[in-house]
Chain A
């Protein structure tokens, strides 16, 4: 049973526009949520995170929104750039440092110049 779901395998966006990547989770015990970015032939790299005590976290062009009642989070990238083209993984965990991350299947973002 998939606890972290990314239902869109791919997304194409024009350069300069907003990219919105979505993630749903089923385990109400999750309290930390992260987004990772992965380029081909490289390992995933951390992008941004949010804890369940917040509903929004920003870091430059990247913003993560958390809706606990809907068990849904989203990653907004504004403005999108060609270098943002990558696979984005949503991940969740219970507790801080206590349990492994559970990953979604990923969404491939293509930013078209």
Chain B
């Protein structure tokens, strides 16, 4: 079973619609992250959470909101989707100690298209 899961894997929606992307993890990590990937722009941080009561904005948080419902769940919402939010979205987790390699573990991604 995958340690970090994302739903849905693909979503097509229309401008102005509200969309929620969900992330769940079974790794027992306390830290969770949302990134988006655009061609030629790499991975950019949207929001991150170091525990259930902690939410922090990343580099590109405008137009997005998040909710940390439990240690294992972190959802990303687009309140009113716009076409330039078309991208690949990745959830990631990490341990508060940084683990052996100070690494983050990524989910498989959600491909979102806003028409």
- Chain A residues within CB distance 8 Å of chain B: 6, 9, 32, 34, 36, 41-46, 48-49, 51, 89, 93, 95-98, 100-106
Partner of B108, one of A32, A42, A93, A95: A42
List, sorted by A's number, 20 A–B pairs whose CB atoms are closer than 8 Å: A6-B42, A32-B102, A34-B101, A34-B102, A36-B106, A43-B4, A43-B92, A49-B101, A89-B43, A95-B98, A96-B97, A96-B98, A97-B97, A97-B98, A97-B99, A100-B33, A100-B45, A100-B104, A101-B104, A106-B43
List the A side residues contacting B92 at CB < 8 Å: 43
- The CA-CA distance from A34 to B7 in the complex, in Å, is 27
Query: Chain A interface mostly helix, strand, loop or mixed?
Result: loop
From residue A39, how far is it (CB to closest CB) to chain B in Å?
11
- Chain B residues within CB distance 8 Å of chain A: 4, 31, 33, 35, 40-45, 48, 58, 90, 92, 94-99, 101-109
From residue B31, how far is it (CB to closest CB) to chain A in Å?
7
- The CA-CA distance from A25 to B92 in the complex, in Å, is 22
Contact between chains at A97 and B102 (CB < 8 Å): yes
Chain A residue nearest to B47 (CB atoms) is A100
Chain A residue nearest to B35 (CB atoms) is A103
Contact between chains at A93 and B58 (CB < 8 Å): no
